[in-house]
A = this chain, B = another copy of it.
Amino acid sequence: MTPAPGRLLLMPNALDLGAAEVPLTDVLPGGVITQASRLLHWVVEDARSARAFLNRVNRITPLAQTLQETLISELPRTPKGPQRVIPGKAAKGSGPARPDAPMPTPWEQLLLPAVAGADIGLLSEAGLPGVADPGALLVAAAHDLGIPVVALSGPSAITLAIAASGLNGQSFVFHGYLQTDVNPRRARLRELEATSRRLQQTQVFIETPYRNAVMLEACLEVLQPTTRLAISCGLTLAEGWSLCRTAAQWKAAKVDLPDRVPAVFSLLG
C-alpha cells in the first residue's frame, strides 16, 4: 500500500540573513518554530544558512534530532528542465525497471521523502520560500506529484515594505531585481514610473545591498519631483527604517543608504 504522502511545508525564515540580531520569536510564530524543530527532512536554498536557522530554532525549541541527523539538501543551483530517460540507458538503481518511464527530475528526487510519507521543510535564506527565491520549482513539482503544499505564516520583505510605504497596497507589482547597467536601468525606471502613474499601481523592486546607494541615486536622476519613493531598509531589524518621500524631498534630504542591509524600493507616480 502506498503511504499517504507527507507535506511540503513552506517554512519562513527571518529577514536578518543570519545576523541573528533580532530574536527568532520576534519574527516567527512560536507554532512555526515548533514545527521547524520536528522536521527531519529539509530542502534549502543554502545548507550553511539552513544550519544556522536550525541552531536558532534549537535554542528556542530543542530539535527532535541532532543537526547531524537532520537531512538537508540544497536546491539545484541552475534550474534544469525535466530529464527524460534514453530507452535502454536507464541509470542503475533508478527504481523499478521501466525503460519508458521518465527519470525523476532533480526536484522530484528532492521530494522522494514526501512521496514516502515524511514531511519536508522548504527554507529560503530570508523570508518566504518561493517568493523572490529559487524554491518555486520545488513547489511546482510538489503540486505535480500531488504532495500537499502548506505555507506557514511568516514575514515577506515585499508585503512588509508595501505596508510600510503607505503607497497603494490594493494594486502593486513586484519586479525583483532591475537592470544594473546605467542606461537600461534608467529606461526601466522611467517605464515603471509611467506605469505607476497610469494605473496608480505601486512598483516594487529590490537591489543587492552594496548597490542600494547607486539605486537611490538612479531613482533620483530619473523620477519626476512629485513621484513618491518609499524605501524600507533592514525590515524587522532593530536599526531598520521605512521612509516615504517625494523624489524632490529625497534629493533635498541626502539620505545615506547602508550597503550591507537589504532594501526594498517602492514607487508611485
Contacts and interface: CB of A to CB of B under 8 A. Distances in A.
Interface of A: 10, 15, 23, 25-32, 128-133, 135-143, 148-156, 158-176, 201, 230, 232, 235-236, 240-245
Nearest to A156: B159
Given A27-B31, A169-B133, A155 B153 contact: yes
A128 B26 contact: no
A130 B163 contact: yes
A136 B167 contact: yes
- How many of these chains are in the complex? 2
Contacts of A167: 136, 140
B236 A166 contact: no
Given A159-B128, A244-B140, A153 B32 contact: no
B170 A160 contact: no
Given A28-B153, A155-B154, A171 B170 contact: no
A15 B153 CA distance: 9
Contact of A159 (B28, B131, B242): B131
B176 A151 contact: no
B143 A243 contact: yes
